[in-house]
Amino acid sequence: MEKVHDFKWEKGMSVKSLADRIGRVGFQGAELARASNIIVKMKKEGTKIFFTFTSNMVTSGLRGFFAQMIKLKMADIIVTTIGGLEEDFMKAIGEKFIIGDFDMDDVELYEKGVNRVGNLFIRNESYARFEDMIQPLLQKFYEKKKTWPVSELLKEIGLTLNDEDSILYQAAKNNVPIFCPAITDGAFGFHLFMFQQKHPDFVVDVVKDFANILFSTSHDERKGIISLGGGVSKHHAIFSCLLNGGLNYAVYMTTAHHTSGSMSGATTKEAKSWGKIKDDADAATVIGDVSITFPIAMINALETLCKEGILKC
């Protein structure tokens, strides 16, 4: 078993060196190192990787890192929520979000037309511009065909963008499907509703997309997940894998705790009771702010994979 090592700073310390040393400190640092090693194993063994995340992570600057992961072939299937895809689109067309403060006067922000996500601010104008651009796109898609599975619709949207840091763009370009079962849970859902009032035969088919995610893998394939946060994104992926024999690898990163009984707090260990993760799966659950834990773990994994020639870097 690994012994506890004292952590010491060295001038010019790399992220990989930092991650390796954190892994020998103990507590969540050890679990972080374990998560990074599992990600390396997933890629080395040709595992089909499900990558799930909640919308607040796209609000943050992690969005460009997620797009880079897709470009580097570190995600084969994406499951997320619509808020993040809206904000990915907004950023792709030039909208800027602001780092503010957790303790701002929210009534004052409302009066100024500013929406707060933690300590990040989004102006109403960003949503207005999103509306101005998405309605003509829906008209274009409607003229092409009347019924769209969600993932196909999102791919079409991604193909209209031209931003290397966009999740939608990179997914469309690299043929990585994005599944969003709760597509109506946001501004885009409202615009779909408004469009359908004028075009009642326009259908966004969520059930068809459930079939698509089920058939995106099989019992025979090795399956892994990197799940950031929880909710519908996490569950949609692990449930689809349950129906396909369970996951061989799993990395969960979250701020929630298992004592809440929530999907966000549910550990990889709990998932084994459902068969969502195989009983002999290599798995880790990291508790902490994903905007900190994920870059450290993933950069460590990428450095290893690049050094060993698994990735073209």
In this structure, what DSSP letter does residue 278 have?
E
Are the C-beta atoms of residues 143 and 136 closer than 8 Å to each other?
Answer: no
* Strand, helix or coil for residue 259: helix
Task: Tell me which residue has tokens 């880079």.
Answer: 68
Closest by CA position to 186, among listed 290, 88, 287, 51:
88
Helix residue ranges, H only, the chain: 15-22, 27-44, 56-59, 62-71, 82-92, 106-111, 124-144, 150-159, 167-173, 187-198, 206-214, 231-242, 268-274, 290-307
Q: How far is it, in rounded angstroms, from Cα 241 to Cα 223? A: 8
Q: How far is it, in rounded angstroms, from Cα 218 to Cα 246? A: 10
Are the C-beta atoms of residues 32 and 296 closer than 8 Å to each other?
Answer: yes
Give the number of residues written for the chain. 313
In this structure, what DSSP letter does residue 258 have?
G
Q: How far is it, in rounded angstroms, from Cα 205 to Cα 153? A: 10
Q: How far is it, in rounded angstroms, from Cα 254 to Cα 233? A: 13
Token pair of 273 as six digits: 């009771």
Are the C-beta atoms of residues 185 and 81 closer than 8 Å to each other?
Answer: yes
Catalytic option among 43, 155, 234, 276: 276
Active site residue 269: no
* Strand, helix or coil for residue 219: coil
Token pair of 7 as six digits: 């952590």
Active-site positions? Answer: 276
